[in-house]
Every structure is written in structure tokens, then in C-alpha cells.
Amino acid sequence: MKKIKKILATLMTAVITLGSIICYSDLSISAKEGDTFSVNGKTLKVGDYFEMGTYFDEPILWRCIAYDENGPLMLSDKILCMKAFDASGNSESGSHGRALDSGNIRKTNGSNYWGDSNLKDWLNSDADAGNVVWSCGNPPDPEHLFNGYMPYDKSAGFLNDFTCSEKNAIKTVRQKQILDRQEYTENDADNYHIFYWIRVGYASIAPIEDSLQNYDTAYCEYSDDKVFLLDIKQAYDLYMDFGDYLAAVPTKAAVTDVRANSGSSMAYVHEWSYWLRTPCNFSRGGCNLRTIRQRSDAEESFDTYGSTANDSHYGVRPAFYLDLSSSDITYGSGSASDPYGINRTKPITSTTTVTTTETTTQTTTETTTAKTTKETTTETTTAKTTKETTTETTTAQTTTAAETTTEITTSSYNNENTLIFGDADGNNVITLNDAVFVLQKILSSTFELPIEKKSDEWFMYIDVDSDKNITARDSALILKKTHLNTFEFPAEKKYKQ
């Protein structure tokens, strides 16, 4: 079915190209999922996962989504943060001084011009906090963002926590950049990129399948980029090759940041809308951009409708091309759980040995196997030494000697755990306690359910009515489950399909 859609879209594009020609996209063949390429003699494939760079003190997970004339195209697996594309402001040193009405709409709503946007500046900066240079002259501070939401004028640049070798692995490439219909001109440019939309009920949507239109010959320029956002063509290709992977959820760190800085009760595991770098030409003014919109349960396709540039309610899902000549694979197998490391040392998650000279009686242990009175395998839940060292142990051997050596093995807490729907306390049994915990979560967005500590996927198991919200109805359904064991949550039915 997807192949048929792609053929039809290509035919439609060919028909529309009879208009005047402003610039052409490069003719290239992009490798699809499963196709291979090589990094320093190691065979990799499109669809593999990689780890490179750090944001919010966590390694960034990327996925190779294509291989074209620029090399491997890498896309962040999840939305990393919420930021406006560009702030409003009166500085006319850049794009805010042009477009319709001498840029007055941009001065109020921000600019949809990628070249000097705040988001491009931030994504490509390694400056310390407060030192990012804003090329348009309008910083993304609270006064110039919609409702003052999620400012980042005092933030460090996105690349600030990348090592030098990681930054060297990011290739500078020249890419086609669709322009606003009135960029550099007082009237509509000839053959500006067509924005196709339809009315569905009371909503206006722009389906991803119909998003390219006259893309190949549309009004454009070329931009030199390192870290960037996908444009509408790259997003379209991603959908055709990877389907629902076009959808994205925010990282847990991104959710924590939004909650801490905006008071929002934003929940992890929700699909979230995120920016593309392509202007949205459904109206004049130079302030609207295409996005990948958050879908409802009823939607099978993706909506690429636009939003104003200074709105911070949209996510950032960065992309870059990997420079093969400056890259080395240092660890991993390429899966999401064991990604390839690029120019970095593998995070220490394996066995570590800690030696203490004296253990106190405040050590609590659970014995799993005992061979002799001198050799016991224990699982330690709380430990305190005279040096006030706290350790968590899965395997240990204790002796009667004065010096005790404890071997610590750390692993992901959800590798072996089986989650069940409605189990808010994570004990694998549905009880009244689970319903009470959910009510506490509703009353306080800062309250953390025990299941949140077990898995990043907790939300789908607590949203038992599958409406993408945690509400009193979820608590009521969990309570019903405690009295009627045969009752099946709507979410259970959905994920069985």
C-alpha cells in the first residue's frame, strides 16, 4: 500500500512541475532500511541505532534513517526538548526585516526562515550557558515567546556536551531549503511550495502523503547545515520507509524539563508534535512552519499542518549526517537496547568492585542461596559502612574476614520485568492500592508512581482506557478489575491487535 502511495505522489509531483522552475532538488538514490554501508571496515545498515553526544546528562540515541549522497542520515530516536523555532522581536538585521509588510508579522510571531532561526543557532552551538549567538538579533527570551513558554536564551548550545571527536563526526552538508512564498520578494514567488490541506469535520489537516506537491521545483535556496531539523521531503521519505517511526515521544528528561520550567503535567509515552524546517505556505506573513502533528487514536495518517514560529509547545527532534571519515564504532551491536557507540567510551554499566574495611549491623540482606556458613549469596537492598557508602548489590559473597569485598552488578531494571496493565505499584498484582496510586498521580503531577521507576513505558500500562490521558476513569477501571478478574482493559484489547 505504501509503495502505491509513493508512486501516486511521484506522479502528482511530475504533473505539477509544468510550472516555472526556480530550483531543482538533487537527483539521488537513497538507501532504504536494511541496506548496508561501512564505517572503518565495519558493516552497518540503515535502521541501526547509534549513541553519540549528551543532552540533559544522558547519552543521545540516534537512528540511521537513510543513506544518500551526503552519507548516513541520523535522526534522534525521541524528541529531546520543547523549544520555539524562532522568537518574535524588532531587530531587522536578518529575516525579521523582510517578508510581508516589511516583516511586521515576523516581529510579532517569529520567522519561518531556517537560515537565521533561533533553533538553527542553538542546535549548531557548543557555547556555554547564556553565550549562544542569535544571528537574527532576537533572542528566545520569555518576552518574545508565545506566553513566555520555555525560553532558552540563557541555555548552553545543544553541542555543549558533545566531545570534540563527537562533533567531528557531524558532517557539514549543503541541503535544499524551501522558502516562504514571500521571502526576498514583495509578492508571491513564482512556483512557491504548495501547501495542500483538506477539511475533516471541523479540523483542517495536511496529510503527509500529499505533502510534497511541487517540492522538486519549488522556490528555494541551499543551506549549509551540520545539525538540522528534517524538512518535509525527508519526513515524507521517513514515513514511506519506516511508517509509524515518523511519530515520536519525548525523552523522560524532556518531560522532566517541561514540568520543572512550565508547570505542565505533560506525560511520557505520548506522541508529541515536533518541528520541521519547511515553511508552511498556507498563508502570507512568513511566520508559519510545517510540523509533524501529534495523532489521535482515530488518525491513521500524519498531519503536517503548521504553527507559528514563536510557539514553544513543539518538540525538537534533531538530525545530522554522519561523517564516515571521522567516525569510529567503539561498542554495541546496533539495536535500540545496545546501540553502536560513535567516537565515545561505553558508559560504565558492568561489574564494579567496591572494597570496604568494616561493615556495620545496619546492612539489610536477602539470602537467595547458602552453601556454607562462610559463603552466602545475597541481594543487598540497603547498606551502610563506616564511610557512609550506600551500595545496591545483586550478587555478593561475604566471608568472616575483617575485609569484605562486595561485587556490584548494575543492569536495566526493566530487562527482566513483565509489566501488566493497571499495575501502578509494580508488584504484578492488581489491587485497590493501584487505583489509589493513580488518584494520587492525578492530584499531583510531581507524584511518581512506583511503576515509573521500573520502566519508561509505564504510561501505556496506566492509561488503561487508552485515551492518552491519566484520569479518574483509569482509576475506576483498575478498581473494577480488582472485583472482576475477567474484565479486560481497553488498552489490553488495543495492544493485543
Average pLDDT over residues 109-120: 96
Of 177-186, 369-378, 398-407, which gets the smallest average pLDDT? 398-407
Whether the predicted pLDDT of 321 surpasses 50: yes
Q: Give the mean model confidence (pLDDT) for residues 165-189.
A: 93
Per-residue pLDDT tens digits for 94-106: 999 887 666 688 9
d(CA 229, CA 291): 10
In whole angstroms, give the CA distance from residue 151 to residue 160.
18
**Domain residues of the chain, as ranges?**
2-342, 352-408, 432-496
DSSP string spanning 194-213? P---EEETTEEE-BGGG--T
Strand partners, 379: 366
Mean pLDDT of 443-449: 79
Phi-psi group of 333: left, alpha or beta (phi > 0 → left; psi -120 to 50 → alpha; rest → beta): alpha
Q: Lowest mean pLDDT of 6-20, 303-317, 324-338, name the range.
A: 6-20
Residue 372: what pLDDT? 35
3-state secondary structure of 96: helix
Mean pLDDT over all residues of the chain? Answer: 79
Cα atoms in the Cβ-side hemisphere of radius 13 Å centred on 180: 28
Does residue 169 have a pLDDT over 70? yes
What is the structure's pLDDT at 319?
98
Dist CA 314 CA 248 (whole Å): 12
Report yes or no: 162 and 265 within 8 Å, Cβ to Cβ. no
CA distance 400 to 265: 52
Strands (E), 161-313: 170-171, 173-178, 198-200, 203-205, 220-225, 227-228, 274-279, 288-292, 306-308
115-129 confidence digits (pLDDT tens): 999 999 999 999 999
Average pLDDT over residues 236-247: 94
Which residue do the cell numbers 518576552 mark?
143
C-alpha cell belonging to residue 202: 471541523
CA nearest neighbour of 216 among 246, 184, 194, 235 = 194
Condensed to tens digits (0 to 9), the pLDDT of residues 258-297 reads 888 876 666 665 789 999 999 998 877 899 999 998 665 5
For the residues 60-83, what does the mean pLDDT come to?
97
Give the residue, 53 or 197, on which the prediction is more confident. Answer: 53
Specify the pLDDT at position 176.
Answer: 97
Residue 150, pLDDT above cutoff 80: yes
**Which three cell numbers, joined as nine digits, stand for 406?**
562486595
If you count them, how many residues does the chain have? Answer: 497
Q: What does each C-alpha distance from 484 to 142, 236, 477, 478 come to in angstroms?
A: 51, 46, 10, 10
Count of beta carbons in the 10 Å neighbourhood of residue 494: 12
Q: Which of 124-133, 242-251, 463-472 has the lowest mean pLDDT?
A: 463-472
Give the CATH number of domain 432-496: 1.10.1330
Res. 362 pLDDT band, cuts 50 70 90: very low
Question: In this structure, which amino acid lies at residue 413?
Answer: Y
Which region among 217-231, 245-259, 380-394, 410-424 has the lowest average model confidence (pLDDT)? 380-394
Burial 2-18 (b: 16+ CB within 10 A, else e): eeebbeebeebeeebbe
Phi, psi of 147 (to 5 degrees): 60, 20
Q: Determine the average pLDDT of the residues in 49-68.
A: 97
- Cell readout for 204 is 483542517
Specify the pLDDT at position 469.
82
pLDDT at 383: 38
Specify the pLDDT at position 363: 35
Q: How confident is the model at residue 23 (pLDDT cuts 50, 70, 90)?
A: very low
- Grid cell locating 10: 511521484
The reported pLDDT for the residue numbered 297 is: 53
Contacts 24+ apart (CB under 8 A), 341-345: 341/50, 341/51, 341/52, 342/50, 342/51, 342/52, 342/166, 342/169, 343/52, 343/163, 343/165, 343/166, 343/168, 343/169, 344/51, 344/52, 344/59, 344/163, 344/165, 344/166
